[in-house]
Structure 1
Amino acid sequence: MMAMKKSFSLLFFLPFLLLAIIYFVIFPNEFRLQSSLAACGDSAPATAADAVAKAAPDIRVLLGVLTRADKYERRALVRLAYALQPAPARAVVHVRFVVCNLTAEEDAALVGLEIAAYGDIIVLDCTENMDNGKTYTYFSAVPRLFAGEPYDYVGKTDDDTYYRLGALADALRDKPRRDAYYGFLTPCHADPRTQYMSGMGYVVSWDVAAWVAATPELQNDLKGPEDKLFGRWLRWGGRGRNVFGAEPRMYDYLDGGMRHGPTCFRHLLQADTVAVHKLKDNLKWARTLNFFNATEGHKASPLFHVDH
């Protein structure tokens, strides 16, 4: 009886076994072909724009946002504003917050949490200050911190400035990769020999940052308005001779509710902006982000309703 059951089972499965053998003999690469086609389909850019976005970057920029450890709310806003920007095409632009030593117990703990969550904070070995050497400490530290993977350009800005990262990368792409100094020249219409890049933000080529790091004499000239000092250092050392003023694409914020009107460095928001400065409160940030459509495109959801 058991022998009959075994024979019946073999006879039942034999046709399926024969079909499987025939299939694999005639179509031995069918599964491999299907999987390779699927992989190609997954990796192929859907549009020409996607193809450009996936192209290898041809420029690398580090943008350091000088701020204080205790400015948690501002950092959260700035981080979100940059995270929602489209990725710059063919460029790497890294935004990093720059603070001095974490001396307060709460800062050591809470900034530590930010570092663990986002990895976008540089803690310099300095005492927090505005006009007593923090800019020097930042530029002199960068070549050592990123020696293994240097950038083409190193920028410095403040936490009340909003850069449009793609516009910045495009503006720098055709500039020299050596001896470059890019930003908003101030004072307006002054003798070029006395102008310097405004603290709203400026960028130098990697070799200029390396020169700052390798020039200990600069430590004797650290007291005073740091951006003015930075321009003086470059003139003294004969560096940053490829000077590029970004006005009017970099400027201070202005809207109808402000007491002061337009000037050579302050005007209304414009479409081809590289950077907007003087965003001192959340309302100015909100209006700026609205202007550049950063607040558009929310996915529909029954969980929220937002009136603009």
Structure 2
Amino acid sequence: MAMKRLSFSLFLLPFLLLAFVYSLFFPGDFSILPSLAARCSNSVAATPANATGPAVDLRVLLGVVTRAEMYERRALLRLAYALQPAPARAVVDVRFFVCSLAREEDAVLVSLEIIAHGDVVVLNCTENMDDGKTHSYFSSLPALFADAPYDYVGKIDDDSYYRLASLADTLRDKPRRDLYHGFPAPCHADPRSQFMSGMGYIVSWDVAAWVAATEALRGDVKGPEDEVFGRWLRRGGKGRNRYGEETRMYDYLDGGMREGVNCFRHALVADTVVVHKLKDRLKWARTLKFFNATQGLKPSKLYHVDL
């Protein structure tokens, strides 16, 4: 029996010495199966106080008002916005707004998008153009986001590409009430009759709340919707803090187009806020390449892409 105890002790001795040496040189790391312990734990480690980033001081909702069947465009926009650098000290949420789903295939496929991405909002309206869809959009926002109001909300086309950091920077020092921001149109008209172009415009949260609360607007919805929206604001004395981005918001132009430069169309520039009229894949591809959206592509033997 004594011999067995001695043999067992001698068997354990190397392991005890190894444990002693490890604990001597790595005293803070000595634990048994730490990876297993981490996998079995349901707790979430707290972020150290000195590791938190700058506080968010700006919240913007960009509502892409589109049609249910525009699946490819939504997929492209998700990629384009997801690959942009996050704006500093700002949250810019991009969501897609469609009217009620009238077709069987849309009811199923849009439901799949909602499950997978959670970024599609179905409004209580019948799909239309120039007959109240803009009113349906803005009037829905105060109730939909009552628990977490935004500082600003925007209505944008699905053929527009916003540079989110640039947008946040240009809005940060603007008033948080009674704001109307975009590209004034027509370009050279009297400012008193201008409206912000439908490529995309931003209003402060109180303006959206005013649209929702003003019953008279429901009967004044027919016509080009960006013009109608401008008319509402003029008649209601709203949106008096107006800011135009005449050179940083523009329609797409490249050398292959017959149209030339004018007051609302020019070549891509680095300090862009939004590019409009991206009507086909080639225009999107050239725009995304210009803004280095593909810079994250790593070399791999699995593919060869000639950019």
> Normalization by structure 1: what TM-score?
0.87
Q: Which residue of 1 aligns with 2:243?
A: 244
Q: Which residue of 2 aligns with 1:226?
A: 225
Flag the 1:28–1:166 CA change in 2: closer, same or farther, 3 A. closer
Flag the 1:297–1:237 CA change in 2: closer, same or farther, 3 A. same
Q: Which residue of 2 aligns with 1:207?
A: 206
Shift of residue 243 of structure 1?
Answer: 0.3
**Is 2:291 the partner of 1:295?**
no
Summarize deviations over 1:131-168 as a string: whole Å, max 9, x none: 11111111111111111111110000011101001100
Summarize deviations over 1:28-82 as a string: whole Å, max 9, x none: 97349xx9xxx9999977xxxxx8xx32211110000011001111111121111
Describe the SS at the equivalent of 2:183. strand
Shift of residue 7 of structure 1?
Answer: 5.2
Query: Quick one: which amino acid aligns to residue 295 of structure 1?
Result: T
Flag the 1:304–1:244 CA change in 2: closer, same or farther, 3 A. same
Q: Distance in 1 between matches of 2:237 and 2:199?
A: 23
Q: Distance in 1 between matches of 2:64 and 2:21?
A: 66
Q: Which residue of 2 aligns with 1:84?
A: 83
Q: Distance in 2 between matches of 1:84 and 1:23?
A: 44
Q: Distance in 1 between matches of 2:47 and 2:220?
A: 58
Alignment partner of 2:28 out of 22, 27, 30? 30
Q: Which residue of 2 aligns with 1:48?
A: none
Flag the 1:6–1:114 CA change in 2: closer, same or farther, 3 A. same
Q: Distance in 1 between matches of 2:22 and 2:79?
A: 55
Q: Distance in 2 between matches of 1:27 and 1:254?
A: 65
Shift of residue 22 of structure 1?
Answer: 11
Describe the SS at the equivalent of 1:199. coil
Q: Distance in 1 between matches of 2:228 and 2:13?
A: 88
**Is 2:57 the partner of 1:55?**
no
Q: Distance in 2 between matches of 1:22 and 1:278?
A: 68
Shift of residue 9 of structure 1?
Answer: 3.2
Q: Distance in 1 between matches of 2:16 and 2:280?
A: 74
Summarize deviations over 1:108-135 as a string: whole Å, max 9, x none: 1111111111111111010011211111
Query: Quick one: which amino acid aligns to residue 28 of structure 2?
Result: E
Q: Distance in 1 between matches of 2:260 and 2:14?
A: 88
Summarize deviations over 1:272-307 as a string: whole Å, max 9, x none: 100011111111111111111112331111111111
Stretch of structure 1 that moved more, 292-301 or 188-197: 292-301
Q: Distance in 2 between matches of 1:175 and 1:42?
A: 33
Q: Which residue of 2 aligns with 1:265?
A: 264
Shift of residue 216 of structure 1?
Answer: 1.2
Flag the 1:17–1:135 CA change in 2: closer, same or farther, 3 A. same
Q: Distance in 2 between matches of 1:15 and 1:8?
A: 12
How many residue pairs get aligned? The number is: 295
1:161-200 alignment to 2 at 5 Å? 161-200=160-199
**Is 2:122 the partner of 1:133?**
no
Q: Distance in 1 between matches of 2:20 and 2:293?
A: 58
Stretch of structure 1 that moved more, 70-79 or 5-14: 5-14
Shift of residue 8 of structure 1?
Answer: 4.9
Q: Distance in 2 between matches of 1:41 and 1:92?
A: 20
For structure 2, which runs of at least 5 residues remain unmatched after alignment? Answer: 35-44
Q: Which residue of 1 aligns with 2:106?
A: 107
Runs of 4+ with deviation above 6 angstroms: 14-24, 26-29, 39-45
Query: Quick one: which amino acid aligns to residue 123 of structure 1?
Result: V
Q: Which residue of 1 aligns with 2:305?
A: 306
For structure 1, which runs of at least 5 residues remain unmatched after alignment? Answer: 46-50
Q: Distance in 1 between matches of 2:101 and 2:22?
A: 68
Q: Distance in 2 between matches of 1:300 and 1:18?
A: 47
